[in-house]
């Protein structure tokens, strides 16, 4: 292990806790705050909700630069910047009395998301631990899986007790007084010339920059982008789709709640057995489960809960696959840069997908929308099969200390 890297037993809990609040105060924020903001300001709810889409778009645009920064200087400066951006964006959001300022705030939050959510964390772990980062990445996703579970009730409590503006201020203050010191004390600088960052996968070519092995990189980036699009559409529109299939609101909410725990459970299993298989098998299982779950929903499978649990398992391990497959295929030397480039199209599709799906639901209905998603999921399975056969596989079971 790189001597400059912090021990995994320190870095994983540190990043894990900060990831929970980082996700809860950005990506998941409007799930609770959107209606209070719209009610208080009089802005159309659609405009309020579009703030997070703008944030994802900005996150995608900055992702390549984030990857380059982590590659050159390690993750500490990037995460410090993220904490400052998220704190500043949330402070501006809580102060916004004009819709233009509201959108500026979300642009700043989006830049913070690009610099401080999963992709930046994965890139940092890869820089620290090289090819042995797989186990650490899996554990980190277990923390992230609890972001909505913890932050939605917390946000609801803060809104009821203090109002939506003070809720933004509280989250912003948290980034300054908790996350920022954690990043400064727990994240050491990592030299890109370290032994960990020079590790390469046996499947890699001798020159592995982000522009090398372009066909595989294109296939992988496309697959991750499609997975991100599918998960975003389902997370935003699942209740609407289920109600259109004659499921009551209460039942739809209860069924939708199954997806989160299933994701976490699937990640636990993946972490437990990861040393016995190559990450490509994880990605293959993920895409097959997602396609199967959506296909069952589209086909009217009578046990909706089973279909959603199959889908949830697939999406759960997709978060691990999107980080570990590039590391296994391309090696650690340029991993941060590759992750930054892969993240860009995925985040942009996540930003656009909910609006496009809403139009599809409006014009063709839930059944046809599910059919389109099923076809996209099948295309993704084909992409993963292509990657599978294009890359040799060797399992490295080593883990960071």
Two structure tokens written together for 214: 């372009």
**Per-residue pLDDT, 1:** 44
Considering the domain architecture, whether residues 133 and 248 belong to the same structural domain is answered as no
Considering the domain architecture, whether residues 165 and 233 belong to the same structural domain is answered as no
Quote the number of domains for the chain: 2
Using CB atoms within 10 Å of the CB of residue 80, give its burial: 0 to 12 exposed, 13 to 18 middle, 19+ buried. Answer: middle
Q: How confident is the model over 101-117, as pLDDT tens digits?
A: 999 999 999 999 999 99
**Per-residue pLDDT, 91:** 97
In a domain, 15, yes or no: yes
**Per-residue pLDDT, 199:** 55
SS3 string of 298-364? Answer: HCCCCCHHHHHHHHHHHHHHHHHHHHHHHHHHHCCCCHHHHHHHHHHHHHHHHHHHHHHHHHHHHHH
Residue 205 predicted with pLDDT over 50: no
Considering the domain architecture, whether residues 171 and 247 belong to the same structural domain is answered as no
Considering the domain architecture, whether residues 34 and 160 belong to the same structural domain is answered as yes
Considering the domain architecture, whether residues 36 and 176 belong to the same structural domain is answered as yes
Residue 395 predicted with pLDDT over 60: no
Q: How confident is the model over 283-308, as pLDDT tens digits?
A: 999 999 999 999 999 988 888 899 99
> In the chain, what percentage of residues exceed pLDDT 70?
90
Q: Are 293 and 308 in contact (CB under 8 A)?
A: yes
CATH number at residue 316: 1.20.1250.20
In a domain, 206, yes or no: no
**Per-residue pLDDT, 210:** 47
Query: Residue 14's closest CA among 183, 166, 235, 220?
Result: 183
Mean pLDDT calculated for residue range 238-260: 81
In a domain, 244, yes or no: yes
Residue 133 predicted with pLDDT over 60: yes
Residue 202: pLDDT band (50, 70, 90) is low
Residue 181: pLDDT band (50, 70, 90) is very high
Q: Of 62-76, 158-172, 249-263, give the lowest mean pLDDT range.
A: 249-263
Domain that holds residue 342: 214-390
Considering the domain architecture, whether residues 122 and 244 belong to the same structural domain is answered as no
In a domain, 209, yes or no: no
Residue 212: pLDDT band (50, 70, 90) is very low
In a domain, 119, yes or no: yes
Mean pLDDT calculated for residue range 355-370: 87
Mean pLDDT calculated for residue range 244-253: 80
The mean pLDDT of the chain is 86
Considering the domain architecture, whether residues 122 and 222 belong to the same structural domain is answered as no
In a domain, 127, yes or no: yes
Helices 147-162 and 30-41 pack at an angle, to 10 degrees, of 30
Residue 207: pLDDT band (50, 70, 90) is very low
Two structure tokens written together for 74: 């390690």
Residue 82 predicted with pLDDT over 90: yes
Considering the domain architecture, whether residues 367 and 235 belong to the same structural domain is answered as yes
Q: How confident is the model over 259-287, as pLDDT tens digits?
A: 888 988 999 999 899 888 889 999 999 99
Considering the domain architecture, whether residues 322 and 369 belong to the same structural domain is answered as yes
Considering the domain architecture, whether residues 99 and 221 belong to the same structural domain is answered as no
Which range has the top average pLDDT, 19-33, 45-59, 92-106?
92-106
In a domain, 398, yes or no: no
Q: How far is CA 65 from CA 53, 115, 175, 365, in A?
A: 20, 9, 22, 39
Considering the domain architecture, whether residues 154 and 58 belong to the same structural domain is answered as yes
Residue 189: pLDDT band (50, 70, 90) is low
Residue 4: pLDDT band (50, 70, 90) is low
Considering the domain architecture, whether residues 299 and 377 belong to the same structural domain is answered as yes
Placement of tokens 């409007």 in the chain? 30
Residue 200: pLDDT band (50, 70, 90) is low
Select from 141, 170, 186 the last residue of a domain. 186
**Per-residue pLDDT, 98:** 96
Q: pTM for the complete prediction? A: 0.85
In a domain, 82, yes or no: yes
Q: How far is CA 12 from CA 8, 137, 169, in A?
A: 6, 8, 27
């Amino acid at each position: 292990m790189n001597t400059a890297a912090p021990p995994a037993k320190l870095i994983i809990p540190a990043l894990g806790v900060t990831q929970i609040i980082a996700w809860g105060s950005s990506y998941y924020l409007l799930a609770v705050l959107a209606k209070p903001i719209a009610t208080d300001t009089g802005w159309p709810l659609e405009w309020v909700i579009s703030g997070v889409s703008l944030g994802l778009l900005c996150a995608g645009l900055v992702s390549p630069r984030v990857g380059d920064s982590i590659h050159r200087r390690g993750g500490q400066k990037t995460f410090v910047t993220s904490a400052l951006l998220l704190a500043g964006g949330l402070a501006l959001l809580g102060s916004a009395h004009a819709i233009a300022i509201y959108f500026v705030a979300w642009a700043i939050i989006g830049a913070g998301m690009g610099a401080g959510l999963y992709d930046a964390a994965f890139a940092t772990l890869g820089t620290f631990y090289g090819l042995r980062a797989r186990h650490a990445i899996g554990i980190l996703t277990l923390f992230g899986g609890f972001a909505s579970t913890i932050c939605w009730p917390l946000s609801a409590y803060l809104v009821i007790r203090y109002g939506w503006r003070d809720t933004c201020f509280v989250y912003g203050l948290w980034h300054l007084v908790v996350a920022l010191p954690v990043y400064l004390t727990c994240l050491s600088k990592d030299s890109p010339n370290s032994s960990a960052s020079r590790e390469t996968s046996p499947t890699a070519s001798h020159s592995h920059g982000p522009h090398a092995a372009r066909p595989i990189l294109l296939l992988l980036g496309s697959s991750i982008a499609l997975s991100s699009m599918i998960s975003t559409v389902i997370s935003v529109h699942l209740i609407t789709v289920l109600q259109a299939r004659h499921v009551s609101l209460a039942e739809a909410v209860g069924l939708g709640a199954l997806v989160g725990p299933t994701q976490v459970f699937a990640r636990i299993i993946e972490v437990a057995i990861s040393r016995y298989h190559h990450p490509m098998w994880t990605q293959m299982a993920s895409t097959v489960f997602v396609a199967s779950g959506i296909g069952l929903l589209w086909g009217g499978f009578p046990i909706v809960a089973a279909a959603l649990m199959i889908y949830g398992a697939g999406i759960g391990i997709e978060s691990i696959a999107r980080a570990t497959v590039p590391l296994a295929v391309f090696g650690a030397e340029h991993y941060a840069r590759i992750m930054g480039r892969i993240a860009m199209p995925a985040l942009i599709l996540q930003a656009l997908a909910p609006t496009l799906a809403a139009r599809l639901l409006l014009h063709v209905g839930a059944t046809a929308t599910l059919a389109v998603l099923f076809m996209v999921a099948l295309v993704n399975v084909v992409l993963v099969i292509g990657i599978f056969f294009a890359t040799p596989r060797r399992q490295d079971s080593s883990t960071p200390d």
